[in-house]
A and B are shown apart, each in its own frame.
Chain A
């Protein structure tokens, strides 16, 4: 952490513009007189000697599609994304984005603490939950009003706040300030420690460990999550992501992070949401440009007689006139969809409670399972082994007319995917009846597993299916479909 901050102090200064705050540590040498710049440089140099020079800089990578744009378009997208989201070491709090960056307000307290050039006793209006180091402090009154400094650290017991910069003259008592970004900063630290090696710095699912894993770690940048409690068209809620991270995903390499404390869990999930929103924002901008300015499109246009200058001037005009409104549109769209996912309205709640898990119910479930209404059997197979006939078909790539190169199902990320083997009793999205209900009701997002709720199946029918699915692992070895031998044990609920 210390090393990280020292690096920070050496980076080129930049100020966040309206509506944004640069969280990590960009402060401006000119505005804030820094008398002991050398005192940072000397230990930094020493540390470099001891630790062996520069750490590799973490970077947010652009997606392949962005890289495929002609270069002014690529730069425009890259700039817009960086302006609003920053880089891993200089996160930006874009207040229009629905991320909980962490926002604490307080004032410089009187009392026993001493005000010095780089520290002062601070009193927060609400207790601060997490570590404040690296967050951005912006004064909202007094002579430094409107200016921003990085927080070095905050000692909650002593109530003393140490700045990552020197203020000469020192701040006055009762100066109001706001500390933004502590949660995201904390989340980033945890993410880099625990998740990055699988999910990648940018959330592209391409961390160094990823190549050894099947299924592959989730790429966050599409903003799509599989195991959610929300309706088919809704995003994952924060609770869903927290649950996944806490419980892990059984049957995959996604581990359980049960031992993270509540504030750590919240912080790391917030960072995952941040990466998702960042990725989706990039995607939305690229979507606007891809049709006209991808390498292939530009080649086509050149062939059909347009000149390079024409294309470029069109692009320049687009970037000047239309890109700002695309940014606006993308951000408000993201804000509403991600905010909506955290509302009650988005959650799938059965209208009726679970149908008693009886033999009859399971039989009805089995009948539905093999019926044409659901076609569960075409994917999951007659015995639930995940080997239905659909696994031998060539499937269409969603949103295009082409088919995949290999037989079988694929998810939106292009990975091959088997329908779940239901005989194993391992449910990635959780094993509660409500989890399975939601899987059937809303489908598994980003996969061919369809949503049946609301339209195809009624509540009772979904529960029958759930009862049947939950009984599959306990079926005796040779069940003939649809007969009495459906299950050996009918769940006897304990007293």
Chain B
């Protein structure tokens, strides 16, 4: 009887390990490899911690199992009573603290690169690609006009889209995140970026995409009944494609509906504004 309890308690951690082991094969894992450089480093940190935790987990459970198993046979000599061991306590305090301290120091670079503004890649900071405004229940996006830089306040020639953020691939880009109403969270799982959008704040975040692809952008902060609707896409495309995307957006947005004269008129406006 005692042995079967023993087996019962050993069974669960074993199952937990087995499931974790199989999880990637079943697709219960990350949604694919990180598609950003910072994301890859975040994944590395995750795996490092996973390894440490697994070793500790397996170690403790093997120990526990051993004790259970030994204790369940009654022909052991009678147990000793002890008031504890000072040395042992010192060891099991210092070793985990050491590990925690190591993790804390080791991840600092990644954290700083991700969140500390002075560590942001300067080329990303110089020209933020867009302002992303979360709003119940959509993402409104404002790009500066081609060749201009993004201003904090809307400009007459800004370009607007909704639920569709385009970024150039292969280099760090920065966006300005805001919220129109309540708290939302900008979450692109494939790029491993997640940042709350807080009403009243303009929060810069940077990321990059290592390949041309389309990613899901989700809201990761329960923001109201329509939270589930806040799904958008991030399209990472080559510089040339990104430029022509903006140019197309610009053409479309300043469309005056006169067939084929659209370009003429914007040229006319250009000369007009120069002549002033």
Contact = CB atoms under 8 A, between A and B. Distances in A.
A493 B263 CA distance: 11
A485 to B, nearest CB: 15
Interface string B144-161: 011110000011110010
A354 B157 contact: no
Given A357-B272, A494-B157, A350 B257 contact: yes
A113 interface: no
A255 to B, nearest CB: 5
A354 B145 CA distance: 19
Contacts of B252: 432
Interface stretch (B55-63, B85-93, B224-232): B224-232
A433 B251 CA distance: 11
B140 to A, nearest CB: 7
B250 interface: yes
Interface residues of A, number: 39
A259 B164 CA distance: 9
A474 to B, nearest CB: 6
Interface in B165-209: none
Interface string B134-150: 00111010000111100
Contacts of B254: 432-433, 493
A53 interface: no
Contact of A489 (B146, B155, B163, B261): B155
B145 A253 contact: no
A356 B140 contact: no
A373 interface: no
A350 B256 contact: yes
A253 B226 CA distance: 10
A191 B137 CA distance: 18
Q: Max chain A CB contacts within 10 Å: which of B140, B164, B269?
A: B269
Contact of A491 (B156, B232, B259): B156
A353 B261 contact: yes
B62 to A, nearest CB: 43
A495 B154 contact: no
Interface in B253-276: 253-259, 261-262, 264-273, 276
A358 B276 contact: yes
Interface in A353-383: 353-354, 356-359
A357 B274 CA distance: 11
A492 B225 contact: no
A470 B158 CA distance: 12
Contact of B264 (A349, A353, A473, A492): A353
A354 B256 CA distance: 6
Nearest to B259: A349
22 contacts: A209-B225, A250-B162, A253-B226, A255-B137, A258-B232, A348-B257, A356-B269, A431-B253, A432-B254, A433-B255, A433-B256, A433-B257, A434-B257, A463-B256, A474-B155, A490-B276, A492-B270, A493-B254, A493-B267, A493-B270, A494-B145, A495-B146
Among all A-B residue pairs, the 3 with the closest Cβ atoms = A434-B257, A356-B272, A354-B256
Interface of B: 136-138, 140, 145-148, 154-157, 160, 162-164, 225-226, 229, 231-233, 250, 252-259, 261-262, 264-273, 276
